[in-house]
Structure 1
Amino acid sequence: MTVDVKVPTLGESVTEATVATWFKQPGDTVAADEMLCELETDKVTVEVPAPAAGTLGEIVAQEGDTVGVDALLATIQEGEGEAPKPAPKAEAKADVKPSGAAKPSGEGKAVDVMVPALGESVTEATVATWFKSVGDTVEADEMLCELETDKVSVEVPAPAAGTLTELLAQEGDTVAAGGKLAILTTGDSAVAAPKAVDPKPAPDAGKEEIEEAKANVAAKGGAAKGDVEDAPSAKKLMAEKGLTSDQVTGSGRDGRVMKEDVMKAATAATSAPAPAASAPRAPVAAGDDAREERVKMTRLRQTIAKRLKDSQNTAAMLTTYNEVDMKAVMDLRSEYKDLFLKKHGVKLGFMSFFTKACVHALREVPEVNAEIDGTDVVYKNYVHMGIAAGTPQGLVVPVIRDADAMSFAEIEKAIAEKGAAARDGKLSMADMQGGTFTISNGGVYGSLMSSPILNPPQSGILGMHKIQDRPMVVGGEIVIRPMMYLALSYDHRIVDGKGAVTFLVRVKEALEDPRRLLMDL
């Protein structure tokens, strides 16, 4: 049976795309949901998965062709279909394997370890850490390596049980979505190829030479350091803090280093501050260089730096300020927090009040919830609220979709789930895309006042700050009130001063009298 591969929905107002790359060719065997090709629009990159398992037949749209929504891209013969061409993986192995390398023997079958889908608009990643080495036995779904993209870390599981026989991408290498990472051989008779061991043994090296080379890698801090693997989150944090496993005492099973161990070691360690990367490096006094350490920026940190600077360079950013008396919200929260927790199973925090207040204000000032697309202004009749969160890896902004249609409890649950995923490095690309407005809470770190930077292409971001008791004049008398400064940064190209001030005043009014939210006032 022939199954059509068609252009998927490309997003709001996007009607056509260009075929960028085909990852499969006619005659190739494909699995259901395996990525076939990549399309590029003027905004994002879209991956096209196989709608069924079978053999790829005719490719109708070639690379470089422009196609519309629902257009035919290719066909798939379900089941056995046509006789497949020689497997590309065999060719790839022949190209990269040195002469004399040992080949899998017996009944073993070679299985490719592929780069998984990295998310919309993400086409490449960096191999951060290999948790297995050539010759290691792996179980199905056991984690083999960790990839780092511009925004998230992606874990790559073993597609089958067997022996890891070849690494095609080393730590630090950049790999494309859909590319090959390694080859493993199923069965017990697999013999490891020496290619992935660094330093490389001689082409005719036996098992002893391979093990010796692996030991050398371990001595240099490589992945093959023994039977006890440090936690992935600990490895990433050690790289950020400039620590080695020798400097951290593991508290996990068999001495496994955990994330908490790295935090303790980093707190205890004293290090010189890193020089600014954007300015010429100042001369270093004699002897100071020995007390410095240089750590490569993660892809996430590089992307944060680039996006924030691009935001400043592109938008006409301006910030307006106000202050809000938090007594009404604090009293309401104190009165109902126990009942709220008992009924909904989640704590009542301040973020749901601020989210509701912003949704209320965005209805009155819709340009703050809009974005500029070329010479058009795109107004959003929905609110996908971004909640900025700090993590050990850097700032991320998970998105609460359709926050305008959510209750207080639904908002609190969504924020708790996204926050936990952010801290654990489990956010997907979809979790951080499509936001229309952002709230950033610097108050949790003690910030009294700041000017948040826009999260492009959004036109507004609200900065929350520390709640601090201050003397205020209420009804002609001086009283102590829990006050918070609010800051709205906005794109002056689309939002006028009147609209920005009105938005912030509406947020202030809704928080100082939460009954307005119920009455839609």
Structure 2
Amino acid sequence: MAELKEARVPDIGGHGDVPVIELLVKPGDTVAKDQGLVTLESDKATMEVPSPFAGVIKELKVKLGDTVAEGALVAVIEATGAEAPADPVAAATAAPPVPAPAPVAPVAMVESGAPVPSRAPVAEPGQLGIPPMRFEADAVLPAKVPYASPAVRLYARELGVDLLQVTGSGRGGRIGKEDVQAFVKGALSGGVALPAAGVGGGLSLIPWPKVDFAKFGEIESTPLSRIQKISGANLARNWAMIPHVTQFDDADITELEDLRAALNQENAKAIAAGKAGKVTMLAFLIKACVTALQKYPTFNASLDGDNLVLKKYFHIGFAADTPNGLVVPVLRDADQKGVVEIAREMGELAALARDGKLKPEQMQGGCFTISSLGGIGGTAFTPIINAPEVAILGVSKSETKPVWNGEKFKPRLILPLSLSYDHRVIDGAAAARFTSYLGQLLADLRRAML
């Protein structure tokens, strides 16, 4: 006989309160194993919740606009075929043990009467790189505690936002991440002062000008995409909180470009058949950057309070332009891969990014980011550091220039480099050495083997 089974949200990279943006099935539909049931949209990617077994949808437990987390019930399915045990005894044997529910922590009641779960003990704020908050007994009275989840509270503290100043848009005035982001946008555009705990003061900005643009001519107003909204808040925070300095340099890639063209020519048939990825200059850049990071480990680090965390792994992020905005896929263990493998994996990640199918874990764990505008144009720019990293490399369009070789001018292909770095961690001399060494690697990649 058929058995009713539950389909739940799988591991989604630790994200909570992820909205449901699309229902892919309805009650009565027959689904195959791994067929999508609903579509979720996290910070910078969409993902489908697959059916863990084949069967018939008996009931959907979510609706459009609901927010879910890992383990949330999505649907009840009447399993069919091999998925359904033949009898109740078999069903009991086949069913995995249900873990005992975790102990419920004490809750604090807020003004709306809704319970707010308390957060498990965590490391001291200074150990996580989060500025400590001054304790005031009056501020923690039940009537004055903001209605927000622990994750939102931590997020607000990372941005230096006082939740008492934020208006919640959720049920009962509950504050979500979107409300915190909207508050930060208002602070940066409308003059609201953000308290920056532990850094000696907040932003003090004059109000953003209010203009009736329509009185000057025809206009069209379009909403920002979800990616633009989230990226905007993160970029504004990074630019305001990190002391950026940018080091500019040039690299001679004449021979490297010849090698790239030769490799693609040799593998033209495999590339055309889809059996190999086209080698791009960015793949060589990733390989060269890994060697430079190994020589200068301070660039492969993150600030954690008063400590500098030096990473022994080399996960490189690269900015990918998509129809919905900029995302940063992360290529993992780049030090263990050759240029051809890096090019192939980059192509796969870029395709997922364009289709909005990157998983959260495919955008996490980066050590260093490369933003390449070489295929578009420009001579130099100032990329914004992707916190918690401490440096980012910007690459502009290469150009053939006359270069003096001691006897005469010769045409050389020159690649402009723009390295932005966190001046709290890296000084100007170190940045100049980094870009100089990177230029040497790009001029003769055999140095990477030394």
**TM-score normalised per structure 2:** 0.64
User: Displacement, 1:397?
Assistant: 1.9
- Cα 1:138–1:293 change in 2 (3 A) is farther
- Cα 1:138–1:407 change in 2 (3 A) is closer
Whichever residue aligns with residue 141 of structure 1, its letter is D
The question of whether the paired residues in 1 share the 8 Å contact of 2:18 and 2:41 is answered with yes
Q: Could you tell me how far apart the structure 2 residues matched to 1:356 and 1:158 are?
A: 39
Whichever residue aligns with residue 214 of structure 2, its letter is A
Q: Could you tell me how far apart the structure 2 residues matched to 1:349 and 1:431 are?
A: 21
Select which of 285, 291, 314 maps to 2:214: 285
| 2:390 alignment counterpart | 459
Q: Could you tell me how far apart the structure 2 residues matched to 1:140 and 1:382 are?
A: 36
- Cα 1:367–1:111 change in 2 (3 A) is same
- CA-to-aligned-CA distance 1:128-150 (integer Å, 9 cap, x gap): 11123345444443322210011
| 1:443 alignment counterpart | 374
CA RMSD of aligned residues (A): 3.0
Report the secondary structure of 1:443's partner residue: coil
The worse-fitting range, judged by mean Cα deviation, of 494-503 and 421-430 is: 421-430
Select which of 282, 300, 306 maps to 1:351: 282
Q: Could you tell me how far apart the structure 2 residues matched to 1:117 and 1:162 are?
A: 22
Residues 225-244 of structure 1 mapped to structure 2, 5 A cutoff:
none
Gaps of 5+ in 2: 81-184, 190-207
Q: Could you tell me how far apart the structure 2 residues matched to 1:181 and 1:405 are?
A: 39
Q: Are 2:87 and 1:174 equivalent residues in the alignment? A: no
With CA pairs under 8 Å and 6+ residues apart, which has the higher RCO, 1 or 2? 2
Q: Could you tell me how far apart the structure 2 residues matched to 1:390 and 1:490 are?
A: 22
**TM-score normalised per structure 1:** 0.56
| 2:228 alignment counterpart | 301
User: Displacement, 1:122?
Assistant: 1.2
| 1:488 alignment counterpart | 419
Report the secondary structure of 1:445's partner residue: coil
Residues 350-369 of structure 1 mapped to structure 2, 5 A cutoff:
350-369=281-300
Percent identical pairs in the alignment equals 36
Whichever residue aligns with residue 320 of structure 1, its letter is Q
Report the secondary structure of 1:285's partner residue: helix
Residues 117-516 of structure 1 mapped to structure 2, 5 A cutoff:
117-119=11-13, 121-185=14-78, 279=189, 282-285=211-214, 292-295=220-223, 297-298=225-226, 300-339=227-266, 345-516=276-447
- CA-to-aligned-CA distance 1:141-173 (integer Å, 9 cap, x gap): 332221001132110233445554544332222
Q: Are 2:43 and 1:114 equivalent residues in the alignment? A: no
Q: Could you tell me how far apart the structure 2 residues matched to 1:296 and 1:356 are?
A: 35
Report the secondary structure of 2:65's partner residue: coil
Q: Could you tell me how far apart the structure 1 residues matched to 2:29 and 2:276 are?
A: 44
Which has the larger helix fraction? 2
- CA-to-aligned-CA distance 1:296-321 (integer Å, 9 cap, x gap): 632x3333222222222322211110
The question of whether the paired residues in 2 share the 8 Å contact of 1:127 and 1:173 is answered with yes
- Cα 1:288–1:143 change in 2 (3 A) is farther
The question of whether the paired residues in 2 share the 8 Å contact of 1:389 and 1:395 is answered with yes
Whichever residue aligns with residue 130 of structure 1, its letter is L
- Cα 1:327–1:349 change in 2 (3 A) is same
The question of whether the paired residues in 1 share the 8 Å contact of 2:395 and 2:418 is answered with yes
- CA-to-aligned-CA distance 1:177-227 (integer Å, 9 cap, x gap): 22223444568xxxxxxxxxxxxxxxxxxxxxxxxxxxxxxxxxxxxxxxx
Aligned length: 323
- CA-to-aligned-CA distance 1:404-458 (integer Å, 9 cap, x gap): 2322223223222322332233322222221111111111222332111111111
The question of whether the paired residues in 1 share the 8 Å contact of 2:245 and 2:420 is answered with yes
The question of whether the paired residues in 2 share the 8 Å contact of 1:328 and 1:514 is answered with no
Report the secondary structure of 2:375's partner residue: helix
Q: Could you tell me how far apart the structure 1 residues matched to 2:314 and 2:55 are?
A: 47
User: Displacement, 1:287?
Assistant: 11
- Cα 1:184–1:288 change in 2 (3 A) is farther
